[in-house]
């Protein structure tokens, strides 16, 4: 008598072996998107209940369309020679036992219109000019940088941000919630803040701060500004990409990020022309130790800190980004964080910076911009 469980189990692995040839590109337990655009997690394939059931049901007769879908779902793995059931795919949260509330800051899910909008943009492209550490960033080199202008007699620029669509700028909630100055407008295409020859000012239609922003812990320190009119992109004004593709969600543990800006904090500015800095990723425990009493959560990123920093800080509310593998062989500049607390200084011992982790907020972002 045939043991049907053993029979099905064997076919399960035979089918997968035929369908998928994988190369190691990521670690398990990373956030990802399925080919259909659903938000999910990179898990061992046998942990994705829906996929397991479908493969057992299909046996050797899986449709070609389903085979292609599985291939596109791969997020980590190996070659056929060392194939095992630990191969991981992007499994939608509705397809496995991991609850949405355990993995996402926002349980509302991805808004497809918002996601489609982000996918439609030609984002993350800059002028390819090599710059040495500590020298000013050339005009248009990071064309997504934004400046927030406030009603203030001196130093009207108190925070930064980044352009993510034709109508939206992302920044920190602490820059717009109970702030001591009223925000006036958003400056795009800025270079030298002592002149405005290359910049354009945009009024504000609406400000949407994350509803769970906590000013004590800096959790959910995120806000989106809707501009009063459409931004026409040019060589000085372009959007940055967000981590919305499987490739862009793969981040090495020792990844080096970029911050760039005018060094703006709530107390003023440090440079009339933007500067850049390369900052290393740190384990969140490192920031927890430095900022005693403040536990750093997965919704935050810890970077930088140490001594002899050769370049200067970005802006409060500004972007944390790097040139990432965005789609296939295409690389783009992708924003992973928003400056929330602390930051890298200039040529002195500094505290690390804490950034809001945008990977955890894609559902909320897509719902706001839709």
Q: Which residues are catalytic?
A: 174, 221, 316
Residues ≥6 apart with Cβ < 8 Å to 67: 18, 19
Q: 145-150 and 157-163 as β-strands: parallel, antiparallel, unpaired?
A: antiparallel
Contact 279, 256 (CB under 8 A): yes
Q: Where are the alpha helices (DSSP H) in 234-305?
A: 284-290
Nearest to 218 by CA among 299, 137, 292: 299
- Eight-state DSSP code of residue 111: -
Q: Which residues of 159-179 are buried (b: 16+ CB within 10 A; e: fewer)?
A: bbbbbbbbbbbbbbbbbbeee
Q: Say which residue the tokens 């898990």 belong to.
A: 43
Beta bridge partners of 349: none
Three-state secondary-structure class, residue 17: helix
Residues 315, 171: Cα–Cα separation, whole Å? 10
DSSP code for 365: H
Spatial distance between the Cα atoms of 292 and 274, rounded to a whole number of angstroms: 31
Tokens of 58: 């299909």
Residue of 336, 166, 171, 320 lying closest to 245 (CA atoms): 336
Residues forming beta bridges with residue 279, ordered by sequence position: 257
Task: Count Cβ atoms within 10 A of the Cβ of residue 26 and give its class: 0-12 exposed, 13-18 middle, 19 or more buried.
Answer: buried
Q: Are 126 and 141 in contact (CB under 8 A)?
A: yes
Compute the distance between CA of residue 156 and CA of residue 149 in angstroms, rounded to an integer: 5
């Amino acid at each position: 008598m045939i043991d049907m469980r053993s029979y099905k189990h064997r076919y399960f692995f035979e089918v997968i072996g035929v369908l998928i040839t994988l190369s190691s590109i990521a670690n398990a337990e990373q956030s990802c998107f399925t080919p259909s655009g659903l938000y999910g997690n990179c898990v061992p394939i046998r942990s994705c209940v829906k996929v397991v059931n479908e493969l057992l049901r299909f046996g050797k007769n899986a449709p070609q369309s389903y085979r292609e879908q599985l291939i596109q779902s791969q997020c980590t793995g190996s070659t056929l020679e060392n194939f095992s059931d630990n191969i991981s795919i992007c499994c939608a949260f509705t397809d496995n036992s991991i609850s949405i509330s355990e993995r996402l800051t926002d349980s509302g899910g991805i808004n497809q219109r918002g996601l489609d909008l982000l996918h439609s943009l030609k984002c993350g492209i800059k002028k390819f000019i090599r710059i040495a550490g500590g020298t000013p960033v050339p005009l248009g080199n990071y064309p997504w940088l934004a400046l927030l202008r406030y009603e203030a007699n001196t130093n009207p620029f108190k925070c930064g941000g980044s352009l993510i669509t034709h109508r939206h700028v992302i920044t920190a909630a602490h820059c717009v919630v109970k702030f001591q100055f009223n925000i006036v407008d958003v400056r795009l295409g800025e270079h030298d803040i002592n002149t405005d020859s290359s910049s354009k000012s945009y009024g504000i239609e609406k400000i949407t701060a994350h509803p769970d922003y906590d000013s004590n812990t800096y959790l959910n320190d995120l806000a989106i500004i809707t501009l009063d009119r459409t931004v026409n992109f040019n060589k000085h004004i372009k959007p940055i990409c967000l981590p919305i593709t499987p490739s862009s969600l793969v981040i090495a543990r020792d990844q080096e990020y970029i911050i760039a800006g005018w060094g703006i904090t709530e107390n003023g500015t440090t440079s009339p022309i933007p500067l850049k800095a390369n900052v290393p990723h740190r384990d969140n425990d490192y920031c927890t130790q430095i900022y005693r009493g403040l536990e750093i959560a997965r919704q935050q990123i810890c970077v930088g800190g140490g001594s002899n920093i050769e370049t200067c800080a970005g802006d409060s509310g500004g972007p944390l980004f790097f040139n990432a593998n965005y789609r296939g062989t295409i690389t783009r500049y992708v924003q992973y964080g928003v400056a929330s607390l602390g930051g890298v200084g200039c040529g002195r011992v500094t505290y690390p910076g804490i950034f809001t982790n945008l990977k955890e907020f894609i559902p909320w972002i897509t719902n706001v911009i839709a």
